[in-house]
Amino acid sequence: MVRQGNIDNPPKTPLVPGFECCGIVESVAENTHGFEIGDRVMAFMNYNAWAEVVCTPVDFVYKMPDDMTFTEAAAFSLNFVAAYMMLFEVASLREGMSVLVHSAGGAVGQAVAQLCSTVPNVTVFGIASCFKHTSIKDSVTHLFDRNADYIQEVKKISPDGVDIVLDCLCGENTGKSLSLLKPLGTYILYGASNMVTGETKSFFSFAKSWWQVEKVNPVKLYEENKVIAGFSLLNLLFKQGGCNLVKSAMDKLLILYEQKKIRPVVDSLWALEEVKEAMQRIHDRGNIGKLILDVEKSPTPLMANDSTETSEAGEEEEEPEGDNDSKERMPFIH
């Protein structure tokens, strides 16, 4: 969305993307307390994270647990904090509730599933592309194909609907999700990936998503006892002064990590030179969990006929016989 300018007040180009990173402290400013050179840390950034050296205010920096790897640290902050705050701060997740999460195979979706497992008797309905089901079926209670009529499937299991819906798609899914909410249920929009459908920004895609969103009638919300919310962690951090709220969530998440109750799901590692291919994998919804840019990784040489592109259904294109390059350059971490 940043690359295509599908956000409010997009930064001027050229720019370095990226909102989170991890690494080793190389220097600290005067009167900076709590960190020393050599500390292993993870941090939020207001852009500029995809680089070998970054600088960020101390309020956005957190020490890594001793047993956390850099790969895990790079995948931890944004996804788990967003998932935690939506579930517990916005929707007040409690024992016995039910949660429906779109893009259950993505990094936020997997974080949501893990956090729900820390609360007794929470039912998780996951929506994901079929090819991801084998890998993620154990992380959710019920799993449905994103291209099927999941509304009817959910209602077969839970006729009254669900307590919480987490939607990162927008568009037609908004109306469907609202129809699934129980009385006093909460719908949270935290993304709009349906607006990104091609290589470049598309006014048609934007207009289509906007048009498909069910127009919210406040009186109808009142009558049906439903809650609609929005959540943007980046705006909360960088525009709305939410550092203390985020720090509180991070403190609780690090305890859960040290108790081995949560762990980031990493899809693959990429060299900085491979950022185009890495972004294509996300664009095509091919990833399960987080993609990491590793500044120490050497790019794997590409053959002229090598392709990392995936179809819209998310299935990898066939590889020529005997060509192992693409397998080597997409190291999956299980």
Angstrom distance (rounded) from CA 99 to CA 186: 10
Question: What sections of 233-323 are H helices per DSSP?
Answer: 233-238, 243-258, 275-283
Q: Is it the case that residue 197 has pLDDT exceeding 60?
A: no
Cβ–Cβ < 8 Å for 190, 108? yes
Please, is 8 exposed, middle or buried when counting C-beta atoms within 10 Å of its C-beta (0-12, 13-18, 19+)? exposed
Q: What is the pLDDT of residues 282-309, one digit of tens each?
A: 888 888 889 999 998 988 865 444 444 4
CATH code matching the domain that covers 2-293, chosen among 3.40.50.720, 3.30.750.80, 3.20.20.150, 3.40.720.10: 3.40.50.720
Most confident range (mean pLDDT) of 79-83, 136-140, 145-149 is 79-83
Angstrom distance (rounded) from CA 166 to CA 234: 17
pTM of the model: 0.82
Cβ-proximal residues to 187 (8 Å cutoff; 6+ apart), any chain: 164, 165, 167, 174, 177, 178, 181, 226, 227, 228, 229
Q: How confident is the model at residue 81 (pLDDT cuts 50, 70, 90)?
A: very high
| Domain residue limits, the chain | 2-293
- Mean pLDDT, rounded, for 220-244: 91
The radius of gyration of the chain's CA atoms, rounded to the nearest angstrom, is: 20
Report CA-CA distances (Å) from 211 to 128, 215, 258.
23, 9, 45
